[in-house]
Amino acid sequence: MLFEKNPDNLYPVASLTKLMTALVYFQTQPQFDQVVEIMPDDVKHSSRSHIRPHEEITVRDLLHAALMSSDNVATKALVRSSGIPLDEFVARMNALADSMNLTGTHFVEPTGLDERNVASAQAIAALLRTAASNPIVSSIMQKQTYSFASNRKLHRLVSTNRLLKSKWRITGGKTGFINEAGYCFATMVETPSGTEVTAVLLGAPSNRLRFAEARRLLDWTFRFGLPRAAAAAGTE
């Protein structure tokens, strides 16, 4: 641990929830070419989305929408397509959190729209590292843009992770926001020597500040916090 502030305090984590949703979804051995029809209930109370009822979208494309642009409609459709009842799916999320020793972490639904989805910064760091160990999830989280076509229209996704355009090699990341949670962000950066650094910020007051704070943490880490070998590799 290079720097920490209130690492064990529990906070609403908004769409960082989707990291756990993805892990549980992958346990169902999904078929990535499976086509899912978007239902009106997927769209209802789902916040902003460009996905509309009765579009037909593959599981692969829904995963990109859920993880890159934090789309709640896509997330609901994915969970429904798993064939697992919603209550059981959420129970699996909590069981997996317990098995990972994510103390205090608790979920009541899979999107992050409910402020009762809570975790600590320390738990989110562990959750992101586990999610990024899945090569498909890691690949999606590293994409700046992605386009796909449903049966009705073309969609172009832009990642909500602004650090993908930074000087660092980002190997994973997820944003989240609801009013009760503030602006949340978790990201992983690989140093030139192969060391991986994880940064988590919960409850930032604005979108700009969550990325500014993350940059400050990472700048400090690359200057002062890395092992000497990693730091030397970074100056070659």
Question: Catalytic site residues?
Answer: 15, 18, 70
Rounded to 10 degrees, the C-alpha dihedral 162/152/66/158 comes to -10
3-state secondary structure the chain: CCCCCCCCCCEECHHHHHHHHHHHHHCCCCCCCCEEECCHHHHCCCCCCCCCCCCEEEHHHHHHHHHHCCCHHHHHHHHHHCCCCHHHHHHHHHHHHHHCCCCCCECCCCCCCCCCCEECHHHHHHHHHHHHCCHHHHHHHCCCEEEEECCCCEEEEECCCHHHHCCCEEEEEEEEEECCCEEEEEEEEECCCCCEEEEEEEEECCHHHHHHHHHHHHHHHHHHHCCHHHHHHHCC
**Beta-ladder partners of 37:** 56
